[in-house]
């Protein structure tokens, strides 16, 4: 496919939109702009054709581990498109936008009930920003207690954003290895706890798709040490209505509304990484907070301990509307979402564990990690590329880092048994190809618009934008 | 492999040449990282204590800190790596060296793992 710059310099015979008068004075009309010389219909066709090459969950199975690429119900879009939500001005006065404030307030109530937290801020625009807010709060909390705590404990299976957030907040990261069952190593954890540890950041279930079996003990040990427990809620899709991080002992959690609560993602956002905290941390949340007073919803700007603002206005409001729509659609049945997500993941795992290796032989939560190490170096990469030929989005690969040739698969609750069967059949066929005819897999994909990309050269010698030929 | 080579637990190697310590990462480490796509080198003249992070290596899989295995001051860096990060994959002990430092306490070298000890250590990780 051509770049827009590569279309013919001159085309003739069509009714040009230059004939449309927009009433610009002649002296303001320029001819020397370095823009592609294409007509409006050519521009439309170019970008429409490009869009047809996109892949999304509305086109096919998208088992990208840790990303929860579930179907996003279209009713969410209907609700978000309502005039009053769609044309909302962020500077509107409180009394003109009571419905929108009510929606945000009610969403907070639902999220409190789901997580066991006491207060939420809907401002953070992504999970990583929720983490940043969480550690900013921890920093202020300890400062006001006059405690110098400069370190954060993070297990070696964590998302890379956890140590990155710690570094952003000038915390030193202490990495704790995982034990043979895939839990945080309790002995090493105990040895590392001391009065320098401000926060423990844990993902539960962790990135191996395994529920932390010692979570209650870990939280107790941390609290007895005066340390805060932060939950990376990226994997909340395993827990909805089943267990609450607040009851497990966490003091803070961010939720990726774009994962568990079905707001669209995958093309760069926008996301929503809302943060919930226990009551003793509520006053540190960003302003304004939305509170209900005499049956009216108002902005509260009075909390002096607040860490300040973390996002302009009130977060990505359109995403809050969609998440609220999703939660209200499910109501008290929301537990079924997670039950089904866990069932689907365990079913798919049962179809694959004889062909690929399972590094931790346990029942999984909403996702699982298998290894293709026995098929040799770069096999996970090659399998991922070969899956494209069969019309599937590949799983996450080479993460978590503690599993060699890792394939991290998250089917989500919205896929049918038949889709999971087809996917397992294809992964088993690729394993067969790797044994019988590995060069077929190693040269894949063959059916995509651009064939096999060389991402190593792309990273070493990036060519980021079109430049005019010299 | 060169004879007088010692290793750290974080998979850096050190060779002492004319009083200076040449530093890189082990063959095992480069294999674990996979294809390396960029290297952030320390500045000449910067000082590190033993096992402080001194450089960053980005690979297709991950971004990793490289620790200074001996205390000392950086006197030379392998600028060729900026254009050719793949040298670390192709030749971790020769072309792919990262920096030379002037060690402030040569006794630290003696406390690092020998080649045999390191191979044993790596065997246990596998």
Lowest mean pLDDT among A19-23, B5-9, B39-43, B52-56: A19-23
**How far is A161 from B78, CA to CA, in rounded Å?**
30
Q: Is B62 on the interface with A (CB under 8 A)?
A: yes
Q: Which of B34, B52, B63, B83 to mutate to test the interface with A (most CBs of A within 10 A)?
A: B34
> What is the pLDDT confidence band of residue B97, given thresholds at 50, 70 and 90?
very high
Q: Cα A289 vs. chain centroid, distance in angstroms?
A: 24
Angle, vertex CA A380, rays to CA A397 and CA B64, nearest 5: 55
Using a CB-CB distance cutoff of 8 angstroms, which residues of chain B are in contact with residue A456?
A: 35, 37, 60
Mark yes or no for CB contact A401/B86 under 8 Å. Answer: no
Q: Can you give A227-291 as a three-state secondary structure string?
A: CEEEEEECCHHHCCCCCCHHHHCCCEEEECHHHHCCCCCCCCCCCCCCEEECHHHHHHCCCCEEE
CA separation for the pair A400, A403 (Å, rounded): 6
Q: Tell me how far apart the alpha carbons of residues A79 and A245 are, in angstroms, rounded to a whole number.
A: 29
CA distance B20 to chain A (A): 30
Q: What would you report as the CA-atom Rg of chain B, rounded to the nearest whole angstrom?
A: 13
Tell me how many residue pairs between chain A and chain B have CB atoms under 8 A apart. Answer: 22
State the Cα–Cα distance between residues A274 and A259, nearest whole angstrom.
12
- Least CB–CB distance from A456: residue in B31, B35, B62: B35
Three-state DSSP at A443 gives coil
In Å, how far are A68, A364, A407, A469, B30 from A368, measured between CA atoms?
Answer: 12, 6, 8, 48, 27
- Interface contact flag, A160 B35, Cβ < 8 Å: no
Residue A441's SS3 state is: helix
| pLDDT for the residue numbered B3 | 56
Give the DSSP letter of residue A407. E
Interchain CB contact of B86 with A (< 8 Å): yes
Q: Which pLDDT belongs to residue A268?
A: 65
Which DSSP symbol is given to A171?
A: P
**Among B10, B58, B60, the residue to mutate for chain A (most A Cβ within 10 A):** B60
Please report residues of A whose CB lies closer than 8 A to that of B86: 460
Residue ranges of the domains in chain B? 5-105
- What string of H, E and C letters represents the secondary structure of chain B? CCCCEEECCCCEEEEEECCEEEEEECHHHHHHHCCEEEEECCCCCCEECCCEEEEEEEECCCEEEEEECCCEEEEEECCHHHHCCHHHHHCCCCCCCCEEEEECCCHHHHCCECHHHHHHHHHHHC
- Lookup result for tokens 């999970």: A127
Contact A460 B60 (CB under 8 A): no
Domains of chain A: 74-332 (3.40.640.10), 336-459 (3.90.1150.10)
Distance between alpha carbon A103 and the CA centroid of its chain, in Å? Answer: 23
Residues ≥6 apart with Cβ < 8 Å to A274:
A111, A120, A121, A122, A123, A124, A130, A254, A255, A257, A315
What is the complex's ipTM, to 2 decimals? 0.78
The Cα–Cα gap between A173 and A184 comes to: 15
CB contact under 8 A, A459 and B60: yes
Position B1 scores a pLDDT of: 43
> Which candidate from B31, B37, B63 shows the least CB-CB separation from A456?
B37
| Residues pairing with A232 in the sheet | A203, A254
The DSSP-derived string for A83-121 is HHHHT--TT--GGG-HHHHHHHHHHHHHHHHHHT-SEEE
The CATH classification number of B5-105 equals 2.40.50.100
| Token pair for A301 | 């700007």
Which A residues in the span 377-406 are in contact with B, Cβ-Cβ below 8 Å?
377-378, 398, 401
Q: Does residue A26 sit in helix, strand or coil?
A: helix
Question: How would you write the pLDDT of chain A (470 residues) with one tens digit per residue?
Answer: 788 888 876 677 777 766 666 777 888 877 777 778 788 888 999 999 999 998 999 999 999 999 999 999 999 999 999 999 999 999 999 999 999 999 999 999 999 999 999 999 999 999 999 999 999 999 999 999 999 999 999 999 999 999 999 999 999 999 999 999 999 999 999 999 999 999 999 999 999 999 999 999 999 999 999 999 999 999 999 999 999 999 999 999 999 999 999 999 877 678 999 999 999 999 999 999 999 999 999 999 998 999 989 999 999 999 999 999 999 999 999 999 999 999 999 999 999 999 999 999 999 999 999 999 999 999 999 999 999 999 999 999 999 989 999 999 999 999 999 999 999 999 999 999 999 999 999 999 999 998 999 888 898 888 888 887 77
Residues of A within 8 A of B61 (CB-CB) are 398, 401
What tokens appear for A376 in the block?
């040799």
* Rounded Cα–Cα distance for residues A459 and B59 (Å): 9
Residue of chain B nearest A457, judged by CA positions: B37
Rounded to an integer, what distance in angstroms lies between the CA atom of residue A69 and that of residue A367?
A: 12
């Amino acid at each position: 496919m051509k770049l827009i710059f590569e279309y013919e310099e001159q085309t003739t015979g069509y009714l040009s939109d230059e004939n449309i008068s927009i009433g610009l004075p002649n002296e303001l009309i320029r001819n020397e702009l370095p823009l592609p010389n294409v007509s409006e219909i050519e521009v439309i066709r170019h970008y429409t054709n490009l869009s047809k090459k996109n892949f999304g969950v509305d086109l096919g199975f998208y088992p990208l581990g840790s990303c929860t690429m579930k179907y996003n119900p279209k009713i969410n879009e209907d609700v978000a498109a309502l005039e009053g939500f769609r044309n909302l001005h962020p500077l509107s006065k409180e009394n003109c936008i009571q419905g929108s404030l009510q929606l945000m307030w009610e969403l907070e109530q639902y999220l409190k009930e789901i997580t066991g937290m006491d207060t939420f801020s809907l401002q953070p625009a992504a999970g990583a920003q929720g983490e940043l807010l969480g550690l900013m709060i921890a920093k202020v909390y300890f400062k006001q207690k006059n405690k110098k705590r400069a370190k954060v404990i993070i297990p070696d299976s964590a998302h890379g954003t956890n140590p990155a957030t710690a570094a952003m907040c000038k915390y030193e990261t202490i990495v704790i290895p995982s034990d043979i069952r895939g839990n945080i190593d309790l002995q090493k954890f105990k040895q590392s706890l001391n009065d320098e540890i401000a926060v423990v950041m844990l993902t539960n279930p962790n990135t191996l798709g395994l529920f932390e079996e010692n979570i209650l003990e870990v939280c107790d040990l941390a609290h007895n040490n005066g340390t805060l427990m932060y939950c990376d809620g990226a994997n909340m899709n395993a827990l909805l209505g089943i267990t609450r991080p607040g009851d497990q002992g966490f003091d803070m959690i961010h939720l990726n509304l774009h994962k568990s609560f079905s707001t669209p993602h995958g093309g760069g956002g926008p996301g929503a990484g809302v943060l919930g905290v226990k009551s003793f941390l509520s006053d540190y949340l960003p302003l304004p907070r939305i509170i209900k007073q005499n049956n009216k919803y108002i902005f509260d700007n009075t909390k002096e301990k607040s860490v300040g603002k973390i996002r302009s206005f009130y977060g990505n409001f359109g995403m809050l509307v969609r998440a609220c729509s999703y939660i209200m659609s499910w109501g008290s049945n929301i537990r079924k979402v997670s039950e089904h997500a866990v069932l689907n993941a365990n079913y798919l795992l049962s179809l694959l564990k004889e062909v690929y290796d399972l590094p931790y032989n346990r029942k999984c939560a909403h996702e699982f990690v298998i290894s293709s190490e026995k098929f040799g170096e770069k096999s996970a990469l090659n399998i991922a590329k070969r899956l494209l030929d069969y019309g599937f989005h590949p799983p996450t690969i080479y993460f978590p880092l503690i599993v060699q040739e890792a394939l991290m698969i998250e089917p989500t609750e919205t896929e049918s048994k038949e889709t999971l069967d087809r996917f397992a059949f294809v992964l088993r066929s690729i394993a067969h190809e790797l044994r019988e005819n590995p060069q077929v897999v190693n040269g894949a994909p063959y059916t995509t618009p651009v064939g096999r990309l060389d991402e190593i050269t792309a990273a070493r010698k990036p060519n980021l934008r079109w430049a005019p030929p010299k | 492999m060169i004879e007088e080579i010692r290793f750290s637990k974080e998979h850096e190697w050190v060779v002492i040449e004319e009083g200076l310590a040449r530093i890189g990462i082990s063959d095992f480490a480069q294999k674990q990282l996979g294809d390396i796509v960029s290297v952030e080198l320390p500045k000449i003249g910067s000082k590190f204590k033993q096992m402080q992070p001194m450089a960053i290596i980005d690979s297709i899989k991950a971004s990793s800190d490289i620790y200074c295995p001996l205390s000392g001051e950086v006197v030379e860096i392998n600028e060729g790596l900026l254009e050719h990060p793949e040298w670390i994959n192709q030749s971790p002990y020769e072309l792919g060296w990262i920096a030379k430092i002037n060690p402030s306490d040569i006794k630290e070298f003696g406390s690092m793992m020998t080649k045999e000890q390191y191979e044993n250590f790596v065997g246990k990780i596998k």
